[in-house]
Amino acid sequence: MNDKLAVLNPFARLADETLALRAARAGAIGAWLSAAGGVLVTIQMTLRYDLFVAGVRDRILASADGRDPAATERMLGMIEPTALWAGIGMPLLISAVYVGLGFVQWRRATRFIPLVLLLIAAYGLLASANDLMAGKVSPILTSPFEIGLNWIISLLPLPFLVAGLRGGFRLKALGAAKAGLSSPPSPSPAP
């Protein structure tokens, strides 16, 4: 088990194709962990749907000064269907995509999938940190424990995605070396 987790070390050398493939497949595990985080968000949203809708309603009413009352009413009427889609449907859809990308990464061991998922995860973490520092915590997170748990779940896939990215690049380099593309061209014999 220890040797399987060694590929998560970002400084470990991926000497051969077996280690590089194991590291690239760790990117698939990172995608599946990200999908599990999306399912957790969906469960939280489902359990606290009323809190979320009330929080959005309060924000709309707080920013209603100077706005047409009919427009405010239309916005209030759109809260429920929008919250249902954005809070429950969208995270489930994204989780399904992550599961599919995880299977593709497991089979193909690419560099592209872990890179894209790593960039998306980094953006999400930066946006969450910005919201946390600005005091705009989601209304479905009711305690510091839940905020900390969401951060842990967001950080958990990162080492796997980094390993997947490293493994994908190393497999590409080893494939190029096998094909003779990375070695200098041999001199042609003199006539």
Structure tokens that stand for 143 in this block: 């305690």
Query: What pLDDT shows up at residue 71?
Result: 82
80-87, long-range: CB within 8 Å, 24+ apart, which pairs?
A: 80/53, 83/49, 83/52, 83/53, 83/56, 84/49, 87/42, 87/45, 87/49, 87/52
- 3-state SS of 106-120 is HHHCCCHHHHHHHHH
Question: Can you list the residues of the chain whose pLDDT is less than 50?
Answer: 183
Q: Residue ranges per domain, the chain?
A: 17-176
Query: What pLDDT shows up at residue 82?
Result: 81
Query: What pLDDT shows up at residue 61?
Result: 83
Query: What pLDDT shows up at residue 62?
Result: 81
pLDDT by residue (tens digit) across 20-35?
999 999 999 999 999 9
